[in-house]
Amino acid sequence: MQLIDKLNHVKGFIFDLDGTLLDTLISLSKSYNRGLVQLGMPTHQHDAYRYFIGDGARRCVERCLPATELGLVDQLLALQLEDYQATWRDDVSIYDGIDSLLSYLSSNAFPCAVLSNKNHSFTQLCVEHFFPAVKFDAIQGFTQQVPHKPNPIGALKIAEQLAIDPSELAIIGDTKMDIETAVSCGMVAIGAQWGFRDRHELEVAGADLVLESPRALLQLIQSTNIEAST
């Protein structure tokens, strides 16, 4: 199916959170670094976390620690969780153009959801705090029942909640995990180049298209025959 045909069949949108809706890079990197300091471990530059973050807190912790210190994973996880419970609002911003995009989708009755690899409780807190005026039709983070992306369970659960065929949903995300999730579910895969990773990673993962900004996504939606699910 040609890209334009795929887009014209889209009835709803599933957004990643960190690196797609919210710029949380500084917030998360500071939180992990504070935990590393408490353990006497070396810290990392903020940009390094672009490649540490993305597929769950445990994997991030494993990447933060020296290869010889992986026995500290559980300790660092606990320290970061305690820290993040107090600091999750700090140093976070909404990407420019996201508010306008979500406003347009809402006013045109497009079903929208959030699917994050962040723990579910924090996913809910972030969405409710930073987007109080947006009614997302589903919000899903990592739980024992919903594994991290690229496992398709979370995305397919959302499709069921929205009562929309997976082929009529688009996933927007900034990492290969988001794109691989979309591909495995038969959803349209839209890479968010404005996030943590680069265009090459998104294209190699199988993105149907990669966009440079939320404004570009809004313009694309407005210029196609996309219509909301009814």
pLDDT in tens, 70-107: 999 999 999 999 999 999 999 999 999 999 999 999 99
The pTM of this model reads: 0.95
Asked if residue 1 has pLDDT above 70, the reply is: no
Domains assigned to the chain = 3-23+93-223 (3.40.50.1000), 25-87 (1.10.150)
Asked if residue 3 has pLDDT above 90, the reply is: no
List, for residues 175-214, the tens digit of each pLDDT value.
Answer: 999 999 999 999 999 999 999 999 999 999 999 999 999 9
Phi, psi of 224, deg, nearest 5: -105, -175
Strands (E), 37-104: 93-94
Tokens 């407005």, residue located:
222
As to burial, measured by CB atoms within 10 angstroms (0-12 exposed, 13-18 middle, 19+ buried), residue 144 is exposed
Q: Are strands 169-173 and 209-211 parallel, antiparallel or unpaired?
A: unpaired
Q: Are 146 and 113 in contact (CB under 8 A)?
A: no
3-class state of residue 22 by DSSP: strand
